[in-house]
Amino acid sequence: MNPWLLVVVPAVASLLGVAVRRDDRIAQVVAVVAGGATLLLALVAWISQSGSVTGFGPALPVGELHVPLAVVTDPARLAIVTVVALVATAVQLYSTWYLRTDDRYGQFAATVSLFTAAMLLVVVSSDLVLTVVGWELMGWCSYLLIGHWSRRATARRAALKAFLVTRVADIGFVLGIVGLAAGAGSTDLRAVVAAWDRPTQCIDSAVAGGSVLGDALTACSAPDARLRAVLLALVVIGVLGKSAQVPFQDWLADAMEGPTPASALIHAATMVAAGTVVLAGLHPLLEDSPSARWFLGVAVSVTMLLAALLAFAQSDLKRMLAWSTVSQVSIMLAAIAVAGPGTGPDAGLLHLWSHAIYKSLLFLAIGWAAVVGGGTAASALRGSGASTPVLRAAFLVGFLSLAGVPLVVGGVSKEHVLSSAWDGAVAADGPGVLVLVALVLTSAVTAAYSTRGYLVLTAHVRQRPSAGRVPATVPGLLWVLVVLTVFGGLVVLTGSFAVHRVSLFWLLLTVLVVGVGVAVALRGGFDRDPAEVLARRFVPLADRGFGVDVLYRRLVARPVLRLARVVAFVDTEVVDAYVRGAAVATRAAGWAGVRLHRRERPSAGVGLVLGAVVVLGLVGVLAWS
Amino acid sequence: MVVSLLLALPATLGLWLVSGGRGLPLRVARPLAAGMAVATLGLAVAVALTGSEVDRAWLPELGVHWSLGVDGISVPLVLLTALMGVVVTAHAWVEVPSGGTPATFLGCLLLVEAGALATFTARDAVLFLVAFEVVLVPMWVLVGRYGDPHHPRARTEAAQRFVLYTAVGSTTMLVGILLLVASAGTADLRALAGGAGAALGSGTQLAVAALLVAGLAVKVPVLPFHTWLPPAHTTAPTAGSVLLAAVLLKMGTYGLVRLPVATVPDGFGRLAPVLAVAGALGIVWGGLVCLVERDLKRLIAYSSVAHMGFVVLALASGSQTGLQAALFANVAHGVVSALLFVLVGGLKQRWGDVDLAVRRPALRETSPRLGFALVIGLAASLGLPGLAGFWGELLAVYSAWAPAADRPRALLVTCAVVAAVGAALAAAYALRVAGLVWAGDRPDPEVRRTPDTVGVERWLLAGLATLVVVLGVAPMLVLSVTADAVASVGGAR
């Protein structure tokens, strides 16, 4: 099957969706059918295809640069494609109920389709330009989705913030991609990897043959390792922005202003996780560049712990889920940061796979619970998860998976990340030790806030809230996701992801760490909110995300605006002044000329006559002599 | 022969409309002008397909030929100009500015179109210059007579500034062209590009390149020669703004490709670093001004300065990729700015002014179709993939990062970084406008709603928006047309 189909189907659906946006019923059909078709195509391809298949693109004739615009699918990519399509379809189905009274449902559904197409493009892209295309499109779709309820000033601000923060980080992304492509003279991923890869074998044999390392590098025409590290770091900066990692972390929690299905899409399967896919594609270069991996490793280690702590103390449970996403994406990226030569990036992709399932489950469940409870604050949601069995099951399984309890999907993938962090820590280069410590600490905190989430949502309240009337699709959807969350870990058996077997040791360690986290969370008993018990003072600070928003404004927005005012002033008063000066000077010269002629006419005439007399006299004298 | 007809038809009707037929009533003049614009578009397509050309001795004593024809570099611009001719004449159904008879207005539009077509098809340096100058007069009438009726003084000033500033530029170019023609001994642009120009001594090349670049930089406009553009855009009627942005600015960049880049490559190469810096600075400069500018029309004018910065930067890189990037970005900017100016002109017609400091009901709430077109235009302006603006800008950054071998690499890489920062600024100002004009609170039922777009305006906006999407999804439409010609220009180096 041509991989392009996977992108074209949702893209066409978004175009169609814009055309039929007026009629909700047709828009629903278009959105859901396209989502289902994409899912079906992805499943069929995943099951039937063994090797990798290339979809050739319309190569761009742009001079010296080679731009093939090709896409490729292999088992790991197809697994990701499938889960993305699954979440997208779930979101489309869910929003037919959730946004049934929204007057802009049509636009929403079309944007979700475009978002899906963009993400799938990033996943199957084997061309850096296509990666940029999908990458930027996702940013734009996130702007539209977060700002969907644009009548609310907070939603408008959150959308603006999300787009600008990620776009600033994308300066790095674009420059990194451009630099990598320039080194290869091509944007084809394989060509880029080949051009920047360290020719290890050649160097080793040359060194073994007795030559100095410097000579060996030249002889093997090895790429400039320092430039490669800089370019990879630039790409990593872009990834940190889109994935809401330190120092760009603050936009994602604000993005909760968007409708819940949009949050589920952005968090579970698309935008924030996309960086993992991109870096996994560039992993052959990253593994040779410890400095770039250190850069990534430090950023994600700080982020995963910080975000987990913030998640624990949020007074709003939807924002808690947002911070948990930040933390979980750090774990995916950590798997790539620690993977040195010989270890693939697939542990990170596996965690992306499992996170997509359980995080979409949690978001879709909390959206329903928020309708039941009338808000997303912990106080409003208290007990609303107990209103119906499906919600209780969804929260139980979802939070177990988030906490990383063994055997459910989140636990399986997290153990793989832990084990590859261990491999990285044993190897000399790279940030393995740092990441391993951060991972263990984060696991404990994650278990604590997962416990908190479950306790608050299913707490016993005097008046049991009613689950309201929902169509059968919503509970059905949640059951499917519950089943997948429990058994999804079996995906490691398909062999789509190249991961090692995990030893029993990691299982025991995880149980221990999770146990510690749960025990800490339960210190106040089953009836009280652990955040109230353990971190009451910390809650207001955490709700503001440590006030990083103020920093963004003070350090970036305000200086730029000030500079802009100076530039605008200089533009009109200095640059334009010489133009006006030319006009004034010309007019002054004209005025002077006029004055000179008018006033001096008699004397000028006398002067002329006198001059003529002198000249004539001279001529006469000369002729005489 | 067809190519002569392409120029003669709009020129003849235009001349008649501004002279003998200037009293013609609107209901006659409008279909006449629009019909002529459509016929011209048909001829332009025919010329593009057949590659029609003509070559007659015009002033044999001076060796000047009446030589017209198209190649890959000019075809996209000829088509763009003819299309814009249709857009502006059709826009007369939306708005006919006061200030003179409607027939004169339409005649001036056709004359601008004819002059621009002549510029893009001229194969003789002197003919190019003549055509380049011819455009100024009708444009001056459009800005000075038919401009913003509320501010007569500003109108006169903007028109005078436009004419004088660009005339100074053209005079500089005239000297450059005369020097080039006199020292190379031919005015044929093909011969000049084919080696006659490159054979000149390096001092002469530098002098020619400096004169030509300085003169054309005014038209593009390149920082710091851009200050004529914002006032001209602000006061010009909508159709005038569209022609100014989508056609006249393109004449500047086209001139840069045809004259200095193709004929005196070594001289241009020595100036390229200066041009690259000016381009990169222009991107950031325009972006910053847009962050605080209050008048929406001025804001779009400054964003044009930023977009043209990308074009200039790509040209300065000296690689074929850069040339392709420049030509694509040129066409893309033409379409995007036409969309934005039709839209903002419509807003100005509805609101009386386009001051961003005045809070108005959000377009998304009151007039969703206008809002949708605005969002497409703004997204294209910030370089969103899938829309026209993206490819030219990404390739421009690439070409600056990987310039030709004889360019100072470190400087151009720095320019690439600056340009990438400018792209982020573009996002900031585009979303600023979206936040102020497009998105907003639920409208107060008491306040008068902004009427949504209907009729001709709607179709114009829909057509231009579609074109923006088509160019973004299928950039190869333009790139494959220009590829061969670019390779031959690159081969002349």
Strand partners, A456: none
Residues A336, A483, single domain; the answer is yes
Phi and psi of A72, rounded to 5°?
-145, 145
Give the nearest partner residue to B427 out of A134, A164, A560, using CB atoms. A164
* pLDDT of res. B284: 95
Residue B139 burial (CB < 10 Å; 0-12/13-18/19+)? buried
DSSP SS3 for A91:
helix
Query: Shortest CA distance to A286 belongs to which of A339, A347, A358, A226?
Result: A339
Query: Does residue A461 sit within a domain?
Result: yes
H or E stretch covering B59? strand B54-59
- Among A483, A518, A543, the domain boundary falls at A543
Indicate yes or no: CB of A150 within 8 angstroms of CB of B487.
no
Alpha carbons B53 and A585: distance in angstroms, whole number: 47
End-to-end CA distance of chain A: 111
Indicate yes or no: CB of B224 within 8 angstroms of CB of A575.
yes
pLDDT at B109 over 70: yes
Average pLDDT over residues A106-112: 93
Enter the tokens of residue B306.
């930023």
Indicate yes or no: CB of A151 within 8 angstroms of CB of B440.
yes
Which residue stretches of A57-104 are H helix?
75-98
DSSP SS3 for B392:
helix
List, for residues A263-320, the tens digit of each pLDDT value: 999 988 888 889 999 999 999 898 888 899 999 999 999 999 999 999 998 989 999 9
Average pLDDT over residues B428-452: 85
pLDDT at B417 over 70: yes
Indicate yes or no: CB of B431 within 8 angstroms of CB of A163.
yes
Nearest CA in chain A to B288: A564
Task: Indicate the range of A13-27, A181-195, A415-429 predicted with least confidence.
Answer: A415-429
Residues contacting A168, CB < 8 A, separation 6+: A241, A248, A556, B424
Residues A564, A528, single domain; the answer is no
Alpha carbons A289 and B424: distance in angstroms, whole number: 28
Query: Does residue A145 sit within a domain?
Result: no
Indicate yes or no: CB of A132 within 8 angstroms of CB of B385.
yes
Distance from CA of B421 to the nearest CA of A (A): 6
Give yes or no for a contact between A360 and A425, defined as CB atoms under 8 angstroms apart: no
Alpha carbons B122 and B55: distance in angstroms, whole number: 10
Enter the tokens of residue B472.
């973004």
Distance from CA of B89 to the nearest CA of A (A): 28
Q: Which one of A302-316, A588-602, B142-156 scores highest in mean pLDDT?
A: A302-316
Indicate yes or no: CB of A160 within 8 angstroms of CB of B420.
no
Indicate yes or no: CB of A133 within 8 angstroms of CB of B390.
yes
Enter the tokens of residue B240.
């005038």
* pLDDT of res. B493: 47
Question: Which residue did the predictor score with more confidence, A311 or B195?
Answer: A311
Distance from CA of A449 to the nearest CA of B (A): 36
Nearest CA in chain A to B490: A63
Average pLDDT over residues B104-115: 92
Nearest CA in chain A to B431: A160
Residue A606 burial (CB < 10 Å; 0-12/13-18/19+)? exposed
Average pLDDT over residues A177-190: 91
Residues A535, A607, single domain; the answer is no
Residue A85 burial (CB < 10 Å; 0-12/13-18/19+)? buried
Q: How confident is the model at residue A599 (pLDDT cuts 50, 70, 90)?
A: low
- Among A543, A571, A595, the domain boundary falls at A543
Distance from CA of B112 to the nearest CA of A (A): 25
* pLDDT of res. A232: 94
Indicate yes or no: CB of B420 within 8 angstroms of CB of A174.
yes
Average pLDDT over residues B476-480: 89
* pLDDT of res. B253: 93
Nearest CA in chain B to A572: B227
3-state DSSP helix/strand/coil % of chain A, to nearest 5: 75, 5, 20
Average pLDDT over residues B47-65: 84
In a mutagenesis test of the B interface, which of A128, A129, A571 is the best target, namely the one with the most B β-carbons within 10 Å? Answer: A571
Q: Which residues of A touch B371 (CB under 8 A)?
A: none
Give the nearest partner residue to B479 out of A60, A150, A568, using CB atoms. A60
pLDDT at B242 over 90: yes
Residues A468, A583, single domain; the answer is no
Query: Shortest CA distance to A274 belongs to which of A323, A309, A307, A235?
Result: A235
* pLDDT of res. A590: 87
Q: Which residues of B touch A178 (CB under 8 A)?
A: 394, 397-398, 401, 416, 420
Alpha carbons A510 and A163: distance in angstroms, whole number: 37
B165 touches chain A (CB under 8 A): yes
Residues A502, A392, single domain; the answer is yes
Alpha carbons A260 and A364: distance in angstroms, whole number: 7
List, for residues A123-136, the tens digit of each pLDDT value: 999 999 999 999 99
Inter-chain Cβ pairs, chain A and chain B, closer than 8 A: 137
Average pLDDT over residues A573-587: 84
Average pLDDT over residues B380-398: 92
pLDDT at B86 over 60: yes
Query: Shortest CA distance to A242 belongs to which of A268, A264, A270?
Result: A270
In a mutagenesis test of the A interface, which of B160, B168, B376, B394 is the best target, namely the one with the most A β-carbons within 10 Å? Answer: B394
Alpha-carbon Rg for chain A in angstroms: 32
Alpha carbons A109 and A15: distance in angstroms, whole number: 11
Give the nearest partner residue to A171 out of B223, B421, B440, using CB atoms. B421
Give the nearest partner residue to B292 out of A140, A565, A579, using CB atoms. A565
pTM: 0.91
Integer angstrom CA distances of residue B94 from B21, B42, B239, B349: 22, 23, 10, 10
The structural domain count of chain A equals 2
How many separate helices (H) and strands (E) can be counted in chain B? 22, 2
* pLDDT of res. A603: 65
Q: How confident is the model at residue B490 (pLDDT cuts 50, 70, 90)?
A: low
Query: Does residue A28 sit within a domain?
Result: no
Indicate yes or no: CB of B398 within 8 angstroms of CB of A178.
yes
Q: Which residues of B touch A170 (CB under 8 A)?
A: 424
Give the nearest partner residue to A137 out of B386, B483, B486, using CB atoms. B386
Task: Indicate the range of A46-60, A598-612, B24-38, B74-88 predicted with least confidence.
Answer: A598-612
Q: Which residues of B touch A147 (CB under 8 A)?
A: 439
Q: A152-184 b/e with 16+ CB inside 10 Å = b?
A: eeebbbbbbbbbbbbbbbbbbbbbbbbbbbbbb
Indicate yes or no: CB of A568 within 8 angstroms of CB of B293.
yes
Strand partners, B67: B55
Q: Within chain A, what is the greatest distance between any pair of CA atoms?
A: 136
- The percentage of chain B sitting over the pLDDT mark of 70, rounded to a whole number, equals 99
List, for residues A604-619, the tens digit of each pLDDT value: 677 777 888 888 888 8
Scan residues 386-415 of B and list those with Cβ closer than 8 Å to A.
Answer: 386, 390-391, 394-395, 397-398, 401-402
Indicate yes or no: CB of A60 within 8 angstroms of CB of B440.
no
Give yes or no for a contact between B180 and B136, defined as CB atoms under 8 angstroms apart: no
* pLDDT of res. A431: 85
Query: B386's torsion region: left (phi>0), alpha (psi -120 to 50) or beta?
Result: left
* pLDDT of res. B254: 93
Give the nearest partner residue to A65 out of B161, B398, B427, using CB atoms. B398
Scan residues 356-385 of B and list those with Cβ closer than 8 Å to A.
Answer: 362, 364-365, 379, 383-385
Torsion from C-alpha of B408, B413, B416, B421, nearest 10 degrees: -130
Enter the tokens of residue B370.
């206008």
Indicate yes or no: CB of A583 within 8 angstroms of CB of B291.
no
On the CB side of A94, CA atoms within 13 Å amount to 30
Integer angstrom CA distances of residue A214 from A217, A222, A228, A231, B14: 5, 10, 17, 22, 72
Residues A486, A577, single domain; the answer is no
- The percentage of chain A sitting over the pLDDT mark of 70, rounded to a whole number, equals 98
Give yes or no for a contact between A216 and A203, defined as CB atoms under 8 angstroms apart: yes
Give the nearest partner residue to A63 out of B224, B293, B490, using CB atoms. B490
Residues A462, A559, single domain; the answer is no
pLDDT at A498 over 70: yes
Indicate yes or no: CB of B285 within 8 angstroms of CB of A571.
yes
Average pLDDT over residues B13-22: 87
* pLDDT of res. B491: 45
Task: Indicate the range of A256-260, A420-424, B408-412 predicted with least confidence.
Answer: A420-424
Enter the tokens of residue A127.
């061309």
Q: What is the mean pLDDT of chain B?
A: 89
Residues A460, A499, single domain; the answer is yes
B28 touches chain A (CB under 8 A): no
Give the nearest partner residue to B479 out of A61, A167, A565, using CB atoms. A61
Query: Does residue A10 sit within a domain?
Result: no
pLDDT at B274 over 50: yes
Scan residues 264-323 of B and list those with Cβ closer than 8 Å to A.
Answer: 285, 288-289, 291-293, 319-323
Distance from CA of B66 to the nearest CA of A (A): 32
Query: Does residue A15 sit within a domain?
Result: no
The one-letter amino acid code at B332 reads A
Query: Does residue A38 sit within a domain?
Result: no
Query: Does residue A563 sit within a domain?
Result: yes
* pLDDT of res. A385: 83
Residues A450, A594, single domain; the answer is no
List, for residues A63-95, the tens digit of each pLDDT value: 888 898 999 998 999 999 999 999 999 999 999
Give the nearest partner residue to A571 out of B289, B384, B474, using CB atoms. B289
Indicate yes or no: CB of A136 within 8 angstroms of CB of B390.
yes
Q: Which residues of A touch B324 (CB under 8 A)?
A: 61-63
Query: Does residue A424 sit within a domain?
Result: yes
Q: Which residues of B touch A129 (CB under 8 A)?
A: 394
Residues A467, A368, single domain; the answer is yes
Residues A465, A379, single domain; the answer is yes
List, for residues B328-367, the tens digit of each pLDDT value: 999 999 999 999 999 999 998 888 888 888 888 888 888 8
Structural domain of A601: 554-624
Indicate yes or no: CB of A160 within 8 angstroms of CB of B476.
no
Phi and psi of A258, rounded to 5°?
-75, 165
- Among A543, A568, A597, the domain boundary falls at A543
Average pLDDT over residues A164-188: 93
Q: What is the mean pLDDT of chain A?
A: 88
Average pLDDT over residues B458-487: 90
* pLDDT of res. A476: 93
* pLDDT of res. B492: 43
Indicate yes or no: CB of B386 within 8 angstroms of CB of A175.
no
Distance from CA of A461 to the nearest CA of B (A): 37
Sign (positive/negative) of CA torsion A89, A92, A94, A96?
negative
Residues A457, A333, single domain; the answer is yes
